């Protein structure tokens, strides 16, 4: 012990290993603690076994250190053996051991087991502390069980424990991610009421929540509030706000914030740049988007798959296919594999330019690269076939891909069926194949797929042309049945 008090840990460890007499439990505890603090976890178990072989009778404090070592190493199976060993020796676990055990289970998303351990803890008369509650609340928030997380928060208050910034931050983050912003804001008010100062993390969670919900006024208000409290925004704060402003097409404000960020020597990330590039591409300002891409490269951040996809999509929308294909070639040269978004943008653009050959070649390249088309890709292809008057090809393509998704998940099947049916119905109606469209529509409904308003409009127009009044009435009844609200165009068609 004297060597440890003098800070001579290695010397104390050597003595502990060389001594032949029965070890002192306090000295053993200090040595094991020292090894854990120095992250020498394997040595903890070796030295513990050596101590046991020399007659050490472990107590709850020794076990606490061993549990801490288990947690830091992620040894779940060893932790269970330790608990069994404690029980066999008649040693009752303390709050520290229970908390480590619960925290480990929560980290592994084993919330049912964590709850059982929490109940066992109470049954043994061990009173949970704030860290126990904090671990459980974090686990419940991560598994989206906010009701249970909030119940534990109320338990904290009943137990007259003061929630800290970690507890509040976890809850605020959980409710913001679930888009329950009223509850998140209420917790923020509680936090201030209890005298707990919100930190940057809490403000970032709230700003992100408000931004995602489209309330940029509230998000910017929170930003001003945190600055007034001398809480310095970080790269996440700025990126969240820039992305939110770009989503609302408030590009001038987003760009000013981007400049402020750099003036504060907070360096943008690829996410920050991509948000702005996407914003300018959406507004057809490809010159500014490219300028930002160049700045991104100059700052040492290489454009990624998302950057290229955004730029390619932007060029396709302004009908500059040459520039889009140039970027496509550049990304493949750099070893960046195009994704489904990249291919879909290019396929759609070539169809719009009536370049069916190149569109189908890109589709073939996409399949060869092992990239599966999404609903938008398939919609582009079917729509392209219709526009080229290749009706049988459109139907064959639908059937072919409908078979391809047979083994997929329900979500994937329903997504493709919805898109496929919608494109087919609209195409058949526009080309005067009303009876075939009606059969498609019946198949769609019998498959449990609810058509959108435009499918109904296509069918109504088709039936009106054929003067099929009974079918028009039945279609209108079906709309009401599915809860599809008629728009102005539907009302005009039915008038």
Rg (CA), the chain: 32
- pLDDT score of 187: 96
- pLDDT score of 402: 61
- The tens-digit pLDDT sequence of the chain (495 residues) is 454 454 555 555 555 555 655 566 666 667 666 676 777 766 666 666 666 666 666 777 777 777 777 767 666 666 667 776 677 677 788 888 889 889 888 988 989 989 988 998 888 888 999 999 999 999 999 999 999 999 999 999 999 999 999 999 999 999 999 999 999 999 999 999 999 999 999 999 999 999 999 999 999 999 999 999 999 999 999 999 999 999 999 999 999 999 999 999 999 999 999 999 999 999 999 999 999 999 999 999 999 999 999 999 999 999 999 999 999 999 999 999 999 999 999 999 998 888 988 999 999 999 998 998 887 888 888 888 877 778 778 777 777 766 554 445 434 444 555 666 777 787 777 777 788 878 877 777 776 777 778 777 878 887 777 777 777 788 778 777 777 777 776 676 776
- pLDDT score of 393: 80
Alpha-carbon span 103 to 135, nearest angstrom: 5
Per the listing, tokens 């003036």 go with 263
Nearest partner of 283 among 318, 257, 309, 254, judged by Cα = 318
Alpha-carbon span 293 to 456, nearest angstrom: 43
Q: Pseudo-torsion of CA 117, 118, 121, 125, nearest 10°?
A: -160
CA atoms within 13 A on the CB side of 52: 11
- pLDDT score of 101: 83
Long-range contact set of residues 457-462: C-beta below 8 Å, sequence gap at least 24: 457/489, 457/490, 457/493, 458/425, 458/426, 458/429, 458/430, 459/425, 459/429, 460/490, 460/493, 460/494, 461/429, 461/493, 462/428, 462/429, 462/432, 462/434, 462/437, 462/438
Query: Residue 65's CB: how many other CB atoms inside 10 A?
Result: 23
Alpha-carbon span 209 to 48, nearest angstrom: 48
DSSP state of 267: P
- pLDDT score of 401: 67
Nearest partner of 138 among 162, 172, 178, judged by Cα = 172
Nearest partner of 460 among 480, 483, 439, 479, judged by Cα = 479
pTM of the model: 0.76
Alpha-carbon span 148 to 134, nearest angstrom: 12
- Residue 480's contacts (CB-CB under 8 Å, 6 or more residues apart) are none
Give 107: exposed, middle or buried? Use CB within 10 Å, 0-12, 13-18, 19+. middle
- pLDDT score of 28: 66
Query: Residue 328's CB: how many other CB atoms inside 10 A?
Result: 23
Nearest partner of 276 among 311, 317, 313, 242, judged by Cα = 242
- pLDDT score of 414: 46
Rounded alpha-carbon distances, angstroms, from residue 109 to 30, 143, 238? 33, 7, 31
Query: Hey, what are 388's tokens?
Result: 């080229």
Nearest partner of 402 among 385, 424, 371, judged by Cα = 424
């Amino acid at each position: 012990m004297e060597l440890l008090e003098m800070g001579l840990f290695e010397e104390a460890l050597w003595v502990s290993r060389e001594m032949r007499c029965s070890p002192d439990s306090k000295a053993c505890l200090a040595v094991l603690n020292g090894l854990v603090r120095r992250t020498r976890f394997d040595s903890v178990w070796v030295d513990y076994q050596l101590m046991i072989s020399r007659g050490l009778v472990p107590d709850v404090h020794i076990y606490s250190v061993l549990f801490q070592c288990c947690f830091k190493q992620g040894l779940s199976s060893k932790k269970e053996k330790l608990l069994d060993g404690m029980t066999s020796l008649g040693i009752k676990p303390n709050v520290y051991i229970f908390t480590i055990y619960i925290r480990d289970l929560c980290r592994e998303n084993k919330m049912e087991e964590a709850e059982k351990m929490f109940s066992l803890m109470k049954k043994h008369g061990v009173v949970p502390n704030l860290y126990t509650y904090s671990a459980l609340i974090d686990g419940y928030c991560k598994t989206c069980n906010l009701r249970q997380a909030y119940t534990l928060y109320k338990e904290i208050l009943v137990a007259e424990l003061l929630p800290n910034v970690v507890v509040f931050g976890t809850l605020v983050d959980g409710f913001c991610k679930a888009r329950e912003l009223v509850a998140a804001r209420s917790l923020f008010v509680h936090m201030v009421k209890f005298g707990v100062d919100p930190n940057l993390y809490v403000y970032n969670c709230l700003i992100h929540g408000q931004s995602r919900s489209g309330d940029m006024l509230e998000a910017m208000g929170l930003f001003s509030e945190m600055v007034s409290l001398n809480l310095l925004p970080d790269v996440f704060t700025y990126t969240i706000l820039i992305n939110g402003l770009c989503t609302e097409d408030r590009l001038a404000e987003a760009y000013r914030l981007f400049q402020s960020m750099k003036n504060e020597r907070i360096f943008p990330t690829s996410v920050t740049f991509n948000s702005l590039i996407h914003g300018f591409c959406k507004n057809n300002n490809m010159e500014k988007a490219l300028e930002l891409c160049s700045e991104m490269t100059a700052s040492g951040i290489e454009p990624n798959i998302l950057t290229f996809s955004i730029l390619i999509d932007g060029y396709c929308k302004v009908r500059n296919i040459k520039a889009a294909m140039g970027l496509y070639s550049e990304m493949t040269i750099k070893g960046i594999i195009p994704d489904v978004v990249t291919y879909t943008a290019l396929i759609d653009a070539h169809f719009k330019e009536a370049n069916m050959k190149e569109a189908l070649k890109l589709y073939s390249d996409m399949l060869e690269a092992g990239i599966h088309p999404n609903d938008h890709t398939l919609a582009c292809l079917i729509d392209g076939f219709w526009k080229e008057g290749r009706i049988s090809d459109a139907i064959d393509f639908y059937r072919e891909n409908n078979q391809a998704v047979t083994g997929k998940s329900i979500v994937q099947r329903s997504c493709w069926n919805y898109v496929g049916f919608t494109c087919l119905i609209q195409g058949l109606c526009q080309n005067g194949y009303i009876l075939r469209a009606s059969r498609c529509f019946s198949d769609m409904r019998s498959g449990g797929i609810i058509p959108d308003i435009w499918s109904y409009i296509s069918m109504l127009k088709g039936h009106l042309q054929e003067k099929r009044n009974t079918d028009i009435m039945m279609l209108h009844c079906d709309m009401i049945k599915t809860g599809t609200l008629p728009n102005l165009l539907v009302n005009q068609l039915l008038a």
